[in-house]
Amino acid sequence: MALKATIYKADLNIANMDVHQYGDYQLTIAMHPSETIERLMVRVLAYARFADERLEFTKDLFETDEPALWQKDLTGQLEKWIEVGLPDEDKVKKASARCKEVVVIAYGSSVVEWYKRNSKLKTLKNVQVWQLSEQTTQDIQQLCERTMQLQLNVMDGEWTLIGDKAQAVVEWTQLQ
């Protein structure tokens, strides 16, 4: 018998003073049985970084040819493809050919090695690669609950994600 996904709900309030983006988003996130809390919360941060009413979580680990998140235009065409983790270079190249914008949110102790090994990513003009610090991914796990109230504040490049019981400073580094 196959294990089922665990459903998480998050009310995400974003106040990004740097780009004057403010909004409330009700997120429903399915956590795959093999997924970690760390990865789940990185997906929430990926959503927060590129928040849009049309941005949605995909089947991701249930469907290996899908990213963690994507955004389609009103005709159903893919606009944005967001991968989380350290994806295969070929998957990113294929996404780059299909979408206007491809983003990789990389995290973990082997990001630098992965990025060096996947040097062809540097030739793809529509691909961004962002790295989350290991401290960030440790801290955001403390915010995870089945039902979350999250507040993201961004000011002068500093990101702070606040939950009911803790808060985390979010450190981004753009590699590409």
Compute the distance between CA of residue 88 and CA of residue 110 in angstroms, rounded to an integer. 14
- What is the C-alpha end-to-end distance of the chain, expressed in Å? 42
- DSSP annotation of 150: E
The structure tokens listed for 22 are 């403010």
pLDDT of residue 121 exceeding 70, the answer is: yes
Q: Answer left, alpha or beta for residue 156, where phi above 0 means left and psi between -120 and 50 means alpha.
A: left
* 96 has a pLDDT exceeding 60: yes
For residue 65, pLDDT beyond 80: no
pLDDT tier for residue 3 given thresholds of 50, 70 and 90 = confident
pLDDT at 32 over 80: yes
Task: Tell me the residue type at 49.
Answer: R
The one-letter amino acid at 51: A
| Domains of the chain (ranges, CATH numbers) | 6-174 (3.10.640.10)
Per-residue pLDDT, averaged over 49-56, amounts to 94
Pick 40 or 63 by higher pLDDT.
Answer: 40
> Given pLDDT bands bounded at 50, 70 and 90, which one contains residue 66?
confident
11 forms beta bridges with: 26, 149
**pLDDT tens digit sequence for 77-91:** 899 999 999 999 999
Q: What is the mean pLDDT of the chain?
A: 93
